Copies of this chain bind each other. A is one copy, B any other.
């Protein structure tokens, strides 16, 4: 068995220790004679797994008691529908910051569902290389909430501040949640697809402040209703039990193997700083993002001569450095440095890039 270094943007690398534990428990969880996958979601064994996962997440993010934690399905993209349906029942306009592809999709979804939308800020003029500043935000007078994307996975553009606004803040944290400590109390709703820093695809986390639970539209699918889901402990119907269990293992890994989110943030900062330094000091590689908004999780870069893209990717893969190809919509390269990507992976990538530049640059 070999484990290569995996820079995939998502579904992304998981900690090897987590996969080893899952492998060990695959056919027989703690001597119970069955797999976690085969347990009723209402069994004492699974309920204990689910509760432990929530408790660990609450501890890691220091989630205040007045926030519900929901374990859902459908990915962040389903939240593009669920958020307006849950928050616009009393009217008002959904405000959006547009800093890349995901933020744009969130706005488009609210609009096509018939909700009023307003663009309260955009990085479009800069070619999405710099996020609007606090001073540049312009909310509509009837704003019900402000939605933004903390980190644009494809563009590699990350907010360097939490917007300070008078309406509930809703944030898509899919690609940077758990990368560092977070002041949850600044937000009305935080959501994140699991497949970057949480666990496998097929699980979505939603944190929602409890005073926002009664703002929903009248006719929404039962499974969309944050309040009903919260009251049922995320078990209105059968939840994605195995993904929930794996997320729990990741939370345990963050707590015990890493030592919490402060420690994780230090490692992540070091990983990103190293790679950006290598890019900036090279003659072959470049990244266009304003320094203050460079993503620590997703590092896109281009080669000065795009004819070198193919050999770069082929040789990288040969060297056990997987999934460095940029998103099909933008091309170039992208190295995703999520929590589970070890520092050694970044070191190896940097060495490879230097060697490639020397030989081919």
Chain A residues with a Cβ under 8 A of chain B: 1-4, 6, 8-14, 16, 19-20, 22-23, 26-28, 31-35, 37-43, 73-78, 80-81, 109, 112-114, 193, 195, 200-203, 219, 221-224, 236-243, 246, 320, 322-323, 328
Q: What are 26 A-B contacts defined by CB distance under 8 Å?
A: A1-B28, A4-B33, A8-B39, A9-B40, A10-B238, A11-B39, A11-B41, A11-B241, A16-B27, A19-B27, A19-B37, A23-B26, A23-B27, A33-B320, A73-B74, A73-B78, A73-B240, A74-B74, A75-B237, A77-B236, A81-B223, A112-B222, A113-B219, A195-B238, A201-B240, A202-B242
Determine how close the nearest CB of chain B comes to the CB of A118; give it in whole angstroms: 19
Nearest-CB residue, chain B, relative to A31: B2
For A195, what are the chain B residues with a Cβ–Cβ distance below 8 Å? 238
- B20–A27 contact, CB under 8 A? yes
Closest 3 CB pairs of A and B: A202-B240, A4-B33, A81-B221
- B202–A8 contact, CB under 8 A? no
Selected from B26, B34, B328, the residue in CB contact (under 8 A) with A26 is: B26
Tell me the dominant secondary structure on chain A's binding face: loop
Determine how close the nearest CB of chain B comes to the CB of A180; give it in whole angstroms: 22
- A240–B243 contact, CB under 8 A? yes
- CA A200 to CA B73, docked complex, whole Å: 13
Selected from B80, B81, B201, the residue in CB contact (under 8 A) with A242 is: B201
- CA A45 to CA B320, docked complex, whole Å: 16
Selected from B12, B26, B32, B38, the residue in CB contact (under 8 A) with A12 is: B38
- B40–A200 contact, CB under 8 A? no
For A31, what are the chain B residues with a Cβ–Cβ distance below 8 Å? 2
For A42, what are the chain B residues with a Cβ–Cβ distance below 8 Å? 328
- A241–B112 contact, CB under 8 A? no
- B27–A11 contact, CB under 8 A? no
For A28, what are the chain B residues with a Cβ–Cβ distance below 8 Å? 1-3
Selected from B14, B38, B193, the residue in CB contact (under 8 A) with A14 is: B38
For A201, what are the chain B residues with a Cβ–Cβ distance below 8 Å? 37, 41, 238-242
- CA A32 to CA B9, docked complex, whole Å: 17
For A224, what are the chain B residues with a Cβ–Cβ distance below 8 Å? 81
Selected from B12, B23, B202, B237, the residue in CB contact (under 8 A) with A243 is: B202
- B3–A34 contact, CB under 8 A? yes
Determine how close the nearest CB of chain B comes to the CB of A16; give it in whole angstroms: 7
- CA A202 to CA B243, docked complex, whole Å: 8
Determine how close the nearest CB of chain B comes to the CB of A232; give it in whole angstroms: 11
Selected from B39, B193, B223, B328, the residue in CB contact (under 8 A) with A238 is: B193
